[in-house]
């Protein structure tokens, strides 16, 4: 199949391109390198042993999108492109709405004009807000607490309305939990610009001496050791979930939200201890007050992904910590 990938050089996009190419799909990709590097294109080619068409394009540029759809026969779109920093979204909400919402509308309009009616959308567990119970199922109430989360929720709603207007569409809303890890080769990894917000990239900055210690945001949560619990998922597992979602979209006309998580909750201390153990390091930490907006615990019920897509995560927290560490080491040495 011919799969168009938006945001193809980002963390999840790049791993998904490798997975799609390995599975025999043709990839047509674009990115504007807002939060990624051009060198990722060659790394995807190297790892998959395959070539693919790439455009340096911005999704808010309808003319650029029109050119891509005119030059390629697209069967399905996987839509990763978007701004994703929660804190930043509170500071510059209009940029988030313009890029994420307007950009997605541009994409959908061009898809419609070219009669391309299959889309896999990169949503997030953030749409569940603070869940009333755990594990989280797809039919739980949806809410958003910041502009970033609202863009995810709004795009989900736009896509649901689109399906109601035309049942010929195949729309899969993939709700990711906490993606970490990296490709085994160490060539692809999470490479955020500036100071990272998320736990794993911050832990790696501490491990490699860029920060003196990790700040543990609260040890008084209602969890087994008082620190926040999340469903960390290896990015390679997550990438393969997209391949399975493409298969499903090729064979079903529907709008379906599907959790991509392991179903296992690990605490901040679990992550620190595992990272230390598998890499034989000792990351210093300090307990600090809670980060505003953080919730006690969040983990998926992954049953629907297994039933509908035949997908479940197979890689462990040890794999995530080992692969993330090795890739980060390589990225820092190569720089």
Catalytic residues: 148
CA 307 to chain centre: 21
Tokens standing for residue 164: 């109601």
**How deeply is 103 buried, as exposed, middle or buried, from its count of CB atoms within 10 A (0-12, 13-18, 19+)?**
buried
The tokens for 140 are: 């739980």
In the chain, % helix, strand, coil (3-state, to 5) comes to: 45, 20, 40
Q: How far apart are CA 196 and CA 310, in angstroms?
A: 33
Spatial CA neighbour of 67 closest among 35, 22, 37, 28 = 28
| Tokens at 108, concatenated | 């959908």
Q: Could you say whether residue 135 binds ligand UFG (CB under 6 A)?
A: no
Residue 124 touching ligand UFG (CB under 6 A): yes
User: If binding is defined by CB under 6 A, does position 217 make contact with ligand UFG?
Assistant: yes
Stretch that binds ligand UFG, among 30-38, 46-54, 114-122, 215-223 (CB under 6 A): 215-223
Applying the rule CB under 6 A, the residues between 2 and 31 that interact with ligand UFG are: none
What 3-state class would DSSP assign to 258?
Answer: strand
Take residue 250 and report the two structure tokens written for it: 């090729």
Of 178 and 328, which CB lies nearer to ligand UFG in the complex structure?
A: 178
Q: Which CB, 188 or 260, lies closer to ligand UFG?
A: 260
Within positions 265 to 284, which residues make up the interface with ligand UFG, using CB under 6 A?
268
Q: Please select the residue that binds ligand UFG; options are 215, 276, 312, 316, rule is CB under 6 A.
A: 215
Q: Pick the piece of the chain touching ligand UFG (CB under 6 A) from 10-18, 54-62, 183-191, 213-221.
A: 213-221
Contacts (Cβ under 8 Å, ≥6 apart) of 63: none
> For ligand UFG, what does the binding mask look like between residues 222 and 241, x meaning CB under 6 A?
------x-x-----------
Stretch binding ligand UFG (CB under 6 A), from 2-10, 114-122, 196-204, 311-319: 196-204
Member of 17, 65, 76, 125 binding ligand UFG (CB under 6 A): 125
Q: What is d(CA 306, CA 293) in angstroms, rounded to the nearest whole number? A: 31
Q: What does the binding site for ligand UFG look like in residue numbers (CB under 6 A)?
A: 84, 86, 124-126, 177-178, 197-199, 202, 214-217, 228, 230, 268, 291, 294, 298
């Amino acid at each position: 199949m011919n799969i168009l990938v938006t945001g193809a050089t980002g963390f999840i996009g790049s791993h998904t391109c490798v997975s799609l190419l390995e599975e025999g799909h043709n990839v047509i990709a674009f990115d504007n390198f807002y939060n990624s590097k051009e060198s990722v294109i060659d790394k995807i080619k190297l790892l998959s042993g395959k070539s693919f068409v790439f455009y340096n394009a911005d999704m808010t540029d309808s003319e650029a999108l029109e050119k891509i759809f005119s030059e390629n026969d697209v069967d399905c779109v996987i839509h990763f492109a978007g701004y994703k920093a929660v804190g930043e979204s509170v500071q510059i909400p209009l940029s988030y709405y313009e890029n994420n919402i307007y950009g997605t509308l541009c994409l959908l309009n061009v898809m419609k004009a070219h009669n391309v009616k299959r889309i896999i959308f990169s949503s997030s567990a953030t749409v569940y807000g603070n869940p009333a119970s755990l594990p989280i199922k797809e039919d739980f109430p949806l809410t958003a607490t910041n502009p970033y989360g609202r863009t995810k929720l709004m795009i989900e709603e736009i896509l649901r309305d689109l399906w109601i207007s035309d049942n010929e569409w195949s729309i899969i809303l993939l709700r990711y939990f906490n993606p970490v890890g990296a490709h085994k080769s160490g060539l692809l990894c999470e490479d955020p610009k500036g100071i990272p917000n998320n736990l794993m990239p911050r832990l790696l900055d501490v491990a490699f001496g860029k920060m003196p210690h990790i700040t543990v945001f609260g040890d008084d949560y209602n969890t087994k050791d008082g620190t926040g619990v999340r469903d960390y998922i290896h990015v390679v597992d997550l990438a393969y979930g997209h391949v399975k979602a493409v298969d499903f979209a090729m064979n079903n006309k529907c709008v379906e939200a599907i959790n991509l998580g392991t179903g296992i909750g690990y605490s901040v201390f679990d992550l620190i201890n595992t990272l230390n153990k598998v890499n034989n390091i000792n990351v210093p930490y300090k307990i600090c007050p809670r980060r505003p907006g953080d919730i006690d615990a969040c983990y998926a019920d992954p049953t629907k992904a297994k039933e509908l897509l035949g997908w479940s995560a197979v890689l462990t927290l040890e794999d995530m910590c080992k692969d993330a560490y090795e890739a980060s080491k390589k990225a820092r040495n190569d720089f």
